Amino acid sequence: MSALFEPITLRETTIPNRVWMAPMCQYSAEPEGPAQGAPQDWHFVHYAARATGGTGLILVEATAISPEGRISPYDLGIWNDTQVAAFRRITRFLAGQGTVPGIQLAHSGRKASTDRTWKGGAPVGPDAHGWQPLGPSPVAFADGHPVPDELTVDQIMEIVDQFVAAARRALAAGFEVAEIHGAHGYLINEFLSPHSNHRTDAYGGSYENRIRFALEVVDAVRAVWPDDKPLFFRISATDWLEDAGWTVDDTVRFAGELHAHGVDLLDVSTGGNASGVRIPTGPGYQVPFAARVKTETPLRTAAVGLITDAEQATKIVANDEADAVLLGRELLRNPSWARHAARELGDAVRVPDQYHRSV
């Protein structure tokens, strides 16, 4: 068996292989009404196809813990029981295919209230289902974006409680893995980075203060997420800024803190918190960040970033650069990527009975 198709057990959850689906927003939920934020037929088909294609773990896209925590009016949410019931249809099917269902719990912070990406992703106002964004400091993400309202301490505590309620609902919806979204310039990432966090109270200034909110969320979620189920954290390992930003050294230091607070795996991405930044991309360009965390801390990692072929993915896991790979665009292009990779590597191919002719 190749390293890519070895099972991995985190706490008491066994994931059948190391080919995982990264969270990718579909911007396809209803923006208002009784079904606001609930997964629709598109979401079911989208995730079901990757499960029948052999993906070991599917992390459902950034799912907002509150209406104002959405990136766009069309985001998924998990702040009410209607949403929970709709998610159960997805998690039940994924589990039935042998895929572990996971969910990314998110608050978009100052990057909230924007249009769908294929329509440009510009900020939208109340006439297009928009709202006023919130953030750690009154600092806009970019020119043309609104200045967010600075969160009060009471509001910060309320958001921690919303993460807790969302985690409870995620469990009721049948998810086996919960991931806290601390990357890509959304709220938790905004608190971590001095580029976006200009506070002078206990949540800003020093490194210890800037990580406070993130650790409060982790502690609160870990307290209600079952001990036998893993908790992930997604991070942007660097802001890609020369100075005044979050760095890979900060990430390594923070990874040790996350491990001590009960996080089981760091999902390592980069960027998203500063506009206009030039990122040097290329095959596997973010893998070294995951590898450094894995080498220098006890925390397990998953790698992302232009991982496109089976041999490349296998080497990442076999060389101990990461414990798993998270595929994004490749799984959009080919829902059965895992099945094709297994065949290419000579591993057992997991195929639904209905597709036995394809073996």
- Catalytic residue at 74? no
Single-letter code of the amino acid located at 137: S
CA 53 to chain centre: 21
Q: Are 8 and 19 in contact (CB under 8 A)?
A: no
- Domains of the chain, by residue range, sit at 3-351
Q: What are 62's strand-pairing partners?
A: 104
Cα 329 from Cα 24, distance rounded (Å):
9
**CATH tag for 3-351 (out of 3.30.70.100, 1.20.1250.20, 3.20.20.70, 1.10.150.120):** 3.20.20.70
Q: Distances from the Cα of 234 to the Cαs of 23, 47, 143, in angstroms?
A: 10, 20, 26
Residue 219, C-beta contacts closer than 8 angstroms, at least 6 positions apart: 261, 262
Question: From first to last of its 359 residues, what are the pLDDT tens digits of the chain?
Answer: 899 999 999 999 999 999 999 999 999 999 999 999 999 999 999 999 999 999 999 999 999 999 999 999 999 999 999 999 999 999 999 999 999 999 999 999 999 999 999 999 999 999 999 999 999 999 999 999 999 999 999 999 999 999 999 999 999 999 999 999 999 999 999 999 999 999 999 999 999 999 999 999 999 999 999 999 999 999 999 999 977 899 999 999 999 999 999 999 999 999 999 998 999 999 999 999 999 999 999 999 999 999 999 999 999 999 999 999 999 999 999 999 999 999 999 998 888 989 888 87
CA 322 to chain centre: 16
Catalytic residue among 74, 186, 203, 207: 186
Q: Are 102 and 184 in contact (CB under 8 A)?
A: no
Cα 274 from Cα 329, distance rounded (Å):
22
What φ, ψ does residue 18 adopt, rounded to 5°? -105, 15
Give the single-character DSSP code of 5.
G
